[in-house]
Amino acid sequence: MEAQAFRISIPQPVLDDLHARLGRTRWPDAIAGSGWNYGVDAAFIRDLVEYWRDTFDWRRQEAALNRFPQFRAETGGFRVHFIHVRQGDGGKKPLLLLHGWPSSFYQMTRIIPLLGGSFDIVVPSLIGYGFSDAARAPGMSVGRMAEIFHRLMTGTLGYRRYAIRGGDLGAGVASQMAQVHPEAVIGTHTGGTYPWVDFEHLPSDLTPAEREFIANVKQWRDQEMAYAMLHATKPQTLACALNDSPAGLAAWIVEKFRRWSDCGGNVETRFTKDELLTTITIYWVTETINSSMRLYYETMRDPGSWGRPAVPQALLMSGKDLFPTPHEWIARQGMPERYTEIDRGGHFLEWEEPALVAGDIIEFFRDRE
């Protein structure tokens, strides 16, 4: 289907309702001086919600987002929202940028100008995120989503072959695209920490770095994975709270931006209040927190096809992500064609270190067609 130009324009009554709800927030109690020990810091979230209510200007952020050429196209039965930046006559190599949770297409807006001279750029909202349609039936896993984005790139936009950069759940979609459509994928550029380990079948010859990695995975599962298990088992229950309370939604999301970014415990060293609230407001005004979390549920039940893809692969690995993943562990699956370790930037690399990521993407894809 032909893509139709799209502009973000949130009805004023939606914003008025948000403002009223922020003013009626019923705050829970908090242990004095506990900071972030129990989850979101009570003082921080109160300050953020107050800023959201009294200072944050959605219309200003909306106008900034609308400076990017945006479209929606019906693909695979869903209206898919995406930014599409063509270079001149569109003769540049196409690059698909895929975000994850709890992010949005907004994460990629810092890196787009740095890539523009080398690529045609396509930045979609994942299905059930932002301004893309949500699934109304079971089964919208990363594998199903991969097919939709392949159709977007080849059918709707007419590209024969394309490159992919993906992070978090977007990396899962990218992997599925490379598995199922290697003839179309020039290569994949991903990275990050993946705390999924089969503890019953660990290798007997783990290196010291790998043993530390396994210990970090266990600690992460014990202390940090509750959110993912809730998404993967009872997303509807959680959604009743988060879709009704903007303060609750902000707390659920901002705690992850603080914990997963390379911010040294102060999230505002990486993201301004306006940037955090633009992301949170996208979730609020589109009412997509439920469908975004459901991706965990569906993918747990339909993980798709996994294995080393028959396409060139690059990994950009930050030691400041959730925790370091040693190259020895990666090598057990077969080392990628390009493997780069960096010492800054967390889980949202395109947002935290856009110049570093852009440079690595450009170098990896420079001579690939």
Report the Cα 66 to chain-centroid distance in Å: 20
Contact, 259 vs 224, CB < 8 A? yes
As a whole number of angstroms, the distance between CA 99 and CA 106 comes to 9
CA distance 322 to 294: 22
> Which has the closest alpha carbon to 119: 96, 152, 151, 148?
96
Best CA proximity match to 170, nearest among 299, 323, 335, 334: 299
How many CA atoms, within 13 angstroms, populate the side-chain half-sphere of residue 137? 3
| Cα four-point dihedral sign 286, 262, 176, 73 | positive
Cα Rg of the chain, angstroms: 20
**CA-based max dimension of the chain:** 61
Q: Strand, helix or coil at 41?
A: coil
**Pair 335, 313: CB distance under 8 Å:** no
Strand order, beta sheet including 185-191: 4-6, 70-75, 78-85, 119-124, 93-98, 162-166, 185-191, 313-318, 338-342
The DSSP H or E segment spanning 66 is none
In angstroms, the CA 209 to CA 224 distance is: 21
Residues annotated catalytic, as ranges: 168, 296, 347
Give the single-character DSSP code of 31.
Answer: -
H helix or E strand, kind and range, residue 252: helix 246-260
Residues 6+ apart with CB under 8 A from 335: 327
Angle between the N-to-C axes of helices 289-301 and 169-180, in degrees from 0 to 180, rounded to the nearest 10: 50
CA distances in angstroms from 304 to 98, 216, 284, 290, listed in the order given: 18, 26, 30, 22
Rounded to 5°, angle at Cα 272 from 270 and 276: 95
